[in-house]
Each structure stands twice: as structure tokens, then as C-alpha cells.
């Protein structure tokens, strides 16, 4: 449940960032969303290890981390192209 709450906090405050009218409100809102993101991200590996069979836990965790890294690489490129 902690991961879902963290994700919800991150999502709500990232959306709220789009309504910030200056740098300092944006910074504080983004800071709060980063806390939610940290909570949900730290639980991702835990959920992977709990849901995968013991024989493939390492592969599942490695694949999950690889997909997250790929997303962190590709999403900013899309943002630059679309923005």
C-alpha cells in the first residue's frame, strides 16, 4: 500500500506543478512529488522480489531496473521533441 500511496502523491503533485506560477512554488511542489516518487520507487524492487518465483527473482529485478532506466532515457527525449 505504501507504493500506491507514494505513486499517488507523486502523480498529484507532478500535475500540480503545471499550475505553479513561479519558480519557488514549482520547486516546493516538485520537492513534495519527489518524496512520493522516492517512496514508490523504493518499493518497486520489493514488489518484484515478492511476486517473482525464487528461481528468477534476479532476472525479474534486473528486467524491472532495465525498463526503468530505459524510461528515464527515452521520456526526456520525447519531452524535448514534443515540448
pLDDT the model gives residue 1: 66
Return per-residue pLDDT of the chain as tens, 83 residues.
Answer: 677 888 888 889 989 998 999 999 999 999 999 998 888 887 888 888 889 999 999 999 999 999 989 998 998 999 899 87
pLDDT the model gives residue 46: 85
Distance CA 79, CA 20 (A): 19
How many Cβ atoms are within 10 Å of 13's Cβ, its own excluded?
Answer: 19
What is the DSSP secondary-structure string of 51-79? Answer: HS-GGGHHHHHHHHHHHHHHHHHHHHHHH
pLDDT the model gives residue 83: 76
3-state helix, strand, coil in the chain (%, to 5): 90, 0, 10
Amino acid at each position: 500500500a505504501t507504493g500506491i500511496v507514494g505513486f499517488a502523491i507523486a502523480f498529484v503533485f507532478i500535475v500540480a506543478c503545471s499550475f505553479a506560477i513561479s519558480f519557488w512554488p514549482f520547486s516546493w511542489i516538485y520537492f513534495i512529488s519527489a518524496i512520493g516518487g522516492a517512496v514508490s520507487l523504493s518499493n518497486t524492487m520489493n514488489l518484484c522480489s515478492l511476486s517473482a518465483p525464487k528461481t528468477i527473482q534476479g532476472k525479474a529485478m534486473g528486467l524491472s531496473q532495465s525498463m526503468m532506466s530505459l524510461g528515464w532515457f527515452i521520456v526526456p527525449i520525447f519531452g524535448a521533441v514534443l515540448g
